[in-house]
Amino acid sequence: MEGASFGAGRAGGSLDPLEFLRRPQTLLRLASAVFSIIVFGSIINEGYVNSEKSPILRCVYNGHEGACNYGVAIGLIAFLACCFFLVVDLNFQQISSVKDRKRVVLLDLAFSGLWAFFWFVGFCFLANQWQRTPPSKGALQAGDAARAAIAFCFFSIVSWVALTVKALQRYRLGTDMTLFATDQFPPDPNAGYPTGSGVESTETYQSPPFTETLNTSPKGYQVPAY
C-alpha cells in the first residue's frame, strides 16, 4: 500500500522522473534550495562593504559580522541538505526496510523543523541589524542585496515549515497500523475455525428414551398357586 511504507509503494518499484518532479515535496525542496542560494549568495557577493573612513570590508548589517556569518552558514547548510534529501527521496522507493524508511522520515522531520526555526531566527536577526544600519554609501550600494537576503529568509521559513508538515504526514502514514491489515492478515475472519449452519438442532440434545419396569404385584400380596 502507498501509506504502509511511509509514503512510498513497495520496495523495488520503479519511479517516474516526471512524477517525482511534480511531487509537492520535490517542488518545495527545489524552492528551498533556490531561496538558500539567494540568501548566502547575496551576502557573500555584496554583503561586505567598506566605509568612507576605512578600506576594511565589514558586514553591511550594521557592521555585525555575526549577522553575515549566520546568514551564510544557515543558507549553505540548507542548500546542501536540500540536495541530500532530494537524492534520498529519489531512492526512497529502493529502501526495503521499513525501519530504515522510518529513520529517514524522522530525520527529514527533525531537520526541517529545526531549519524552519533557524530561518525564523535569521530573518529576525538580519532585519533587526538592517534597521540599525546607519545610512552610508556602502549601505546604499548593497541595500538591494541586503533586503533580498532578508526577504528570502522569510520565504525560506514558509518553505521549510511546509516541508516539516509533509514529513509529519509521511510519518503518520507509516505509523498507522490499520494500513497493514490487508497485506499481512487473511481477509476471511473465519479462517482456521469450524463453521456451522447457525441453526440449533434439537436432535443433538435428545435424551435416550426412559424405560421403567413396572411391578404389577402389590407390595406384600402373593399370587396363589393353583
Nearest to 152 by CA among 28, 26, 36: 36
pLDDT digits (tens, 9 = 90+) for 125-143: 999 999 999 888 888 888 9
Amino acid 12: pLDDT: 46
Question: Is this structure's pTM higher than 0.75?
Answer: no
Amino acid 180: pLDDT: 40
pLDDT digits (tens, 9 = 90+) for 6-23: 555 544 455 677 888 889
- Is pLDDT at 182 greater than 50 in this prediction? no
Identify whether the C-beta of residue 166 lies closer than 8 Å to the C-beta of residue 26.
Answer: no
Could you state, in order of their start, the residue ranges of all structural domains in the chain? 32-181
Amino acid 223: pLDDT: 52
Sign of the Cα pseudo-torsion (157, 32, 130, 48, in order): positive
- Is pLDDT at 192 greater than 70 in this prediction? no
In the numeric block, which cell numbers belong to residue 145?
Answer: 542585496
Amino acid 186: pLDDT: 47
The three-state secondary structure class of 105 is helix
Cross-strand bridge partners of residue 49: 58
- Is pLDDT at 163 greater than 50 in this prediction? yes
The 3-class SS string of 161-190 reads: HHHHHHHHHHHHHHHCHHHHHHHHCCCCCC
Task: Give the C-alpha separation, 92 to 11, whole Å.
Answer: 8
Amino acid 126: pLDDT: 96
Nearest to 117 by CA among 128, 105, 127, 125: 125
CB count in 10 Å sphere of residue 203: 5
pLDDT averaged over the chain?
79
